Copies of this chain bind each other. A is one copy, B any other.
């Protein structure tokens, strides 16, 4: 078992989907990654920042899941990062209604001493300079995984490219891969992104699954076809948490094992979208995850006798 160090937002979200809307609820990339990785009983920690308006109950959810929160700074008199969004009817696109950075604006991440030797570092979607700062505090991790988004490509591309150069795995969605590489073909896009630094490129296609690229090798994990996607918020982070959580648990960062990690990432993400926010992840049992693994097998595995 490797230690897993996660940096990411811990935040309030207000979400509107065709199925309903929420008040301020628990959200943030760091939260989703942590809850998802916790399925593997990892020795994990989240580095983040919140204001003193953030409920202790929310933090307790992480500690209950055996996720260390020593690295979550609570800023006295500060307000927690808040995001509000509304999904369109297809649930594939959304409008951001409000973003209040609050305490995130001056976030200086501090990695707890006992996680500076983490084997796996998961840099959740955040300002690239915050991600870089975390990397500077750790001692030679076995694997660094970066998640990012188009916002940083639009606004802080040079900083982002510096982080990308230093990581082993990058996870982005298909449109972001096209934007970052300037290539429409995802095969070509992944190759160009590998030249920027990461040895492994994970391209997330939402309901269309995820692709893992490494040199000439490609692996594909479908998303589980669901009767209803209720709320897609946090699906990508949950995927990243499943991916890194499984790798931390198995301590095997080979391409073959990354295939399994991608399947677990898709598996956990398929639960995340079934309810609002983190609700489904909070109640998720290991048995449910194992049962769904069988569904992924049935969905994808075939036996052809060669002619």
Q: Which residues of A contact B (CB under 8 A)?
A: 89-90, 184-188, 205, 208-209, 211, 217-220, 222, 225-229, 256, 259-260, 263-264, 286, 290, 293, 298-304, 306-307
Q: Is the CB of A227 within 8 A of B290?
A: no
A226, A286, A298, A300: most-surrounded residue (chain B CB, <10 A): A300
Copies per assembly: 2
Chain B residue at minimal CB-CB distance from A299: B220
Q: Is the CB of B299 within 8 A of A286?
A: no
Q: 27 interchain pairs (CB within 8 A)? A: A89-B184, A90-B184, A185-B226, A185-B229, A187-B225, A187-B226, A187-B227, A188-B228, A205-B208, A209-B209, A211-B225, A218-B225, A219-B300, A220-B222, A220-B225, A220-B300, A260-B302, A260-B303, A260-B304, A263-B302, A263-B304, A286-B307, A290-B307, A300-B300, A300-B301, A300-B302, A301-B301
Q: With A302-B260, A306-B293 in contact, is A209–B222 under 8 Å at CB?
A: yes
Among all A-B residue pairs, the 3 with the closest Cβ atoms: A208-B208, A259-B302, A220-B222
Give the distance to chain B from A30, nearest Cβ to Cβ, in Å: 25
| Contacting residues, chain B, for A299 (C-beta < 8 A) | 218-220
Give the distance to chain B from A220, nearest Cβ to Cβ, in Å: 5
| Contacting residues, chain B, for A188 (C-beta < 8 A) | 227-228
| Contacting residues, chain B, for A217 (C-beta < 8 A) | 298
Give the distance to chain B from A114, nearest Cβ to Cβ, in Å: 26
Q: Is the CB of A222 within 8 A of B225?
A: no
| Contacting residues, chain B, for A298 (C-beta < 8 A) | 217-219
| Contacting residues, chain B, for A211 (C-beta < 8 A) | 225
Beyond A185-B226, A185-B229: 5 further Cβ-contacts under 8 Å? A220-B225, A222-B222, A260-B303, A290-B306, A300-B301
